[in-house]
Chains A and B, each alone.
Chain A
Amino acid sequence: MIFFTLFSYSYTKIVFVYFAFLFIFESCNPLFKRFILKSFEDVPGESDTKITRIERPIVPSVGLSVLWIGHATCLIQIGNKVFMTDPMFTNTAGIVTKRRTKPGIQIELLEKLDFILISHLHFDHLNYGSLNLLPKSATVVLPIEGMRYTPNMGFENYQELKLWENISLNDVRITAVPVKHFNGRYGFDIAWLDVDTYSGFVIEYEGKTVFFAGDTGYDSEKFKEIGKKFCIDVALIPIAPIEPHDFMKRVHTNPEEALQIFEDTQAKFMIPIHHRTFIQGLDSSITSAQEQLWQIVAERHLDDRVLILGIGEQKILIQ
């Protein structure tokens, strides 16, 4: 019956619809087409990316440590509390964007997790498959409207934060802070979301302060304000995608702008994130953002404050 229907009366209409879609795709912005096609390409640098996986991601006794798992996913430990930012462990983000490097920890080795921070609703930051792998005792902290995009995964607690709102739980204080990005998850929903569904977070515990910028473009005013309100020990700041910069700068920072955020927030250390994992723009290589950052850091002699971690590398910042 289906075949009869499809290939008799409606055949010409289906052909028409097919060509209409083809026409729409062909008339799309060339930039958009290149983004789509780039996600299927092999890119230089993938095979050069070595992954170090440590056996004990949670350190028995530490003041402050950060382990970069890849993309915007970091395992932060402050004393006896463990935090994970934007968990991303799956092979794709959404359906088509291919992961280029493996995650930097074996998830089975994660003995405990207290807080999971989700900066916004995009597939590479709020990833259902990845969230489901994590210990369910954690509290999931989401930006505004995040609840309406999060399935039931059995986590003990969920908390949605408006900008500048904070949650205090077991002496940990987490504050949602403003960044510059864009709304929604599925593209179409940008149009009807009336509030900004993205934020950064500042974590405070035992006198240590971590700023997680999530995914952001550069906005001097916002970051200076964060710098004034908090005394930040380490800032986790995105550095990619870069190209095409005129387009990307509205919602993403390149290494130069990331360093400007570092300066505006007056953090003691910076760890670059959101690179070497996906190709999301038209960057020529998976390592191009990192190489640019290395060069600028060397020129400005910031090597001791800007800590460029490898995937799976852990840095103990305060013993």
Chain B
Amino acid sequence: MRLRLKHHVVFAIILFSIFEFPFFRSYAQQPERLLGINSSWLLLQSIPNLTWTCYSAQTSFGFEWEITPLLYSFGMNKLNPRWHYFKVTQPERFTGSVEFNLTVQLFTSKVGKSYWGFSGQLIGHFPVIEYGEFMGLNGGIARYTNSFFSANYIVIGASTLFGFLHYNIKYNPIDKYWMHSIEFRFF
């Protein structure tokens, strides 16, 4: 599959919004608190999640890239900031948090007319074992859009391995669409 100009444009917009987002810029002005955006961070962000989408007796395998514009952390010590923008350490997520994240999906086969899909998710993370570092549960809602359908999903799942590895099941009760995703969360 060849990437077209519009795909490059979408990626450029996402990267631009990460660097230029006003919250991030104000955060970056505190150098002693900064977990720096650098090439390593970008490299880790480029590792996609694996996702399977099941609809109308068809299953599509794909890759999913994720960013977290906003996360509210409620499980950390009282002196740690509650609100986080894009840059989130693992404990800030797995010790208990609610996050809004955006994803771009690239399927290996066409879903409708296109290989691409987009989503917005509001997900809560709840610690189960060792403050969520060994195991936690996820739950929330998501909206997925591609050229074939645009639907709301209920999300439930679990995380392990220090919050790096998530498995989520997403279900649309109206159209009975299912999605499964294995997610690697680095920030």
Q: Give me the interface of A with B, judged by CB distance under 8 Å.
A: 1-2, 4-5, 8-10, 13, 17, 94-95, 128-129, 144-145, 147-153, 155, 158, 160, 162, 185-186, 188-189, 191-195
Q: Contact between B79 and A192 (Cβ–Cβ < 8 Å)?
A: no
Q: Contact between A158 and B76 (Cβ–Cβ < 8 Å)?
A: no
Q: Does B52 touch A at the CB level, under 8 Å?
A: yes
Considering the chains assembled together, what is the distance between the CA atoms of A155 and B92 in angstroms? 17
Q: Contact between B32 and A195 (Cβ–Cβ < 8 Å)?
A: yes
- Give the residue name and chain of the A residue nearest to B37 (CB): A192
Considering the chains assembled together, what is the distance between the CA atoms of A2 and B180 in angstroms? 8
Q: Contact between A186 and B162 (Cβ–Cβ < 8 Å)?
A: yes
Q: Does B34 touch A at the CB level, under 8 Å?
A: yes
- Give the residue name and chain of the A residue nearest to B109 (CB): A9
Q: Contact between B164 and A152 (Cβ–Cβ < 8 Å)?
A: no
Q: Contact between B130 and A128 (Cβ–Cβ < 8 Å)?
A: yes
Grouping DSSP codes into helix (H, G, I), strand (E, B) and loop, the B interface class, with mixed when no group exceeds half, is mixed
Residues in B with CB closer than 8 Å to A10 are: 52, 59, 61
Q: Contact between B35 and A194 (Cβ–Cβ < 8 Å)?
A: yes
Contacts across chains A and B counted by CB atoms under 8 Å: 93
Q: Contact between A8 and B35 (Cβ–Cβ < 8 Å)?
A: no
Q: Contact between B34 and A188 (Cβ–Cβ < 8 Å)?
A: no
Considering the chains assembled together, what is the distance between the CA atoms of A128 and B76 in angstroms? 12
Q: Contact between A151 and B95 (Cβ–Cβ < 8 Å)?
A: yes
The smallest C-beta distance from B159 to any residue of chain A, in angstroms, reads 13
The smallest C-beta distance from B68 to any residue of chain A, in angstroms, reads 15
The answer to whether A194 and B34 touch (CB under 8 A), given A10-B52, A151-B131, is: yes
Q: Does B54 touch A at the CB level, under 8 Å?
A: yes
The answer to whether A147 and B80 touch (CB under 8 A), given A129-B130, A194-B34, is: yes
Q: Does B91 touch A at the CB level, under 8 Å?
A: yes
Q: Contact between B38 and A152 (Cβ–Cβ < 8 Å)?
A: no
Q: 4 nearest interchain CB pairs?
A: A191-B40, A151-B95, A151-B131, A194-B36
Q: Contact between A191 and B89 (Cβ–Cβ < 8 Å)?
A: no
Q: Contact between B134 and A95 (Cβ–Cβ < 8 Å)?
A: yes
Considering the chains assembled together, what is the distance between the CA atoms of A128 and B132 in angstroms? 10
Residues in A with CB closer than 8 Å to B92 are: 148
